[in-house]
Structure 1
Amino acid sequence: MSPAESEPSGIHCRLDELLAQRGMTLTRLSEMVGVSLVNLSVLKNDRARAIRFSTLVAICEALDCEVGDLLDRRAA
C-alpha cells in the first residue's frame, strides 16, 4: 500500500446514518442499485478511494437524498 492510499481522504460517507434513517439494510441497497455488498461496505466504512458518478446517482436515488447528504468533508 502506498502512503497516499493509507492517508484519509477527508471525505466521510454517511451511508450508515442514511440507511438507519430509512430502515434499510446494506443488502437491500445493494440489490436496488446493483452494486456489490463488498463495494458498498468499502464506501460505508470510508475506505473507498473513488466512486463512479453513476453509482453515486443510483445510491442517491435509492435513498432519496442529495450527494451532500451522503458525503461530507471532514477536516484532516
Structure 2
Amino acid sequence: MSPAEPVAAETGHRVVCHLGELLEERGMTLTELSDLVGVSIVNLSVLKNDRAKAVRFSTLTAICDALGCCPGDVLTVEPASRPQR
C-alpha cells in the first residue's frame, strides 16, 4: 500500500499536508503557529493531520509567512496509485 492510499481512502483526495514536518524543522509548536497566523489550534490540527477538506488562501498565506516557506512546502499531491499488473 502506498502512502497515498490511506490519505485517499480516508479523505477522498491525495493532498498531503507537511505542517508537522515544517513545524518540527523550525522547532515551533502548533500553539506558536496558531498565535502567529490567527487560526485556532483545532483548525491547524485538522490541517496538520490531513483531515481538512479545504484551506483558505489567506490561511495558507499566513502559514507560509510564519514558516518562511511556499505553499508547495506545506501541501503536496501524492501520485495516483496505479493498478498492479
Q: TM-score, length-normalised on structure 1?
A: 0.89
Report the counterpart of residue 59 of structure 2 in structure 1: 55
Kindly indicate whether residue 20 of structure 2 is the aligned counterpart of residue 16 of structure 1. yes
Partner secondary structure for residue 12 of structure 1: strand
Which of 50, 64, 72 is equivalent to 1:68? 72
Partner secondary structure for residue 69 of structure 1: helix
How far apart, in 1, do the equivalents of 2:73 and 2:20 lie? 12
How far 1:75 moved relative to its partner? 2.6
Report the counterpart of residue 42 of structure 1 in structure 2: 46
Runs of 4+ residues over 2 Å off in structure 1: none
Structure 1 gap ranges (5+): 1-5
Matches within 5 A, 1:26-37: 26-37=30-41
How far apart, in 2, do the equivalents of 1:69 and 1:43 lie? 14
User: Number of residues paired by the alignment?
Assistant: 71
Report the counterpart of residue 3 of structure 1 in structure 2: none
**Which protein has greater RCO, CA pairs closer than 8 Å, 6+ apart?**
1
Q: TM-score, length-normalised on structure 2?
A: 0.80
Question: How high is the sequence identity, in percent, across the aligned residues?
Answer: 62
How far apart, in 2, do the equivalents of 1:8 and 1:22 lie? 30
Letter in 1 for 2:33: L
Partner secondary structure for residue 72 of structure 1: strand
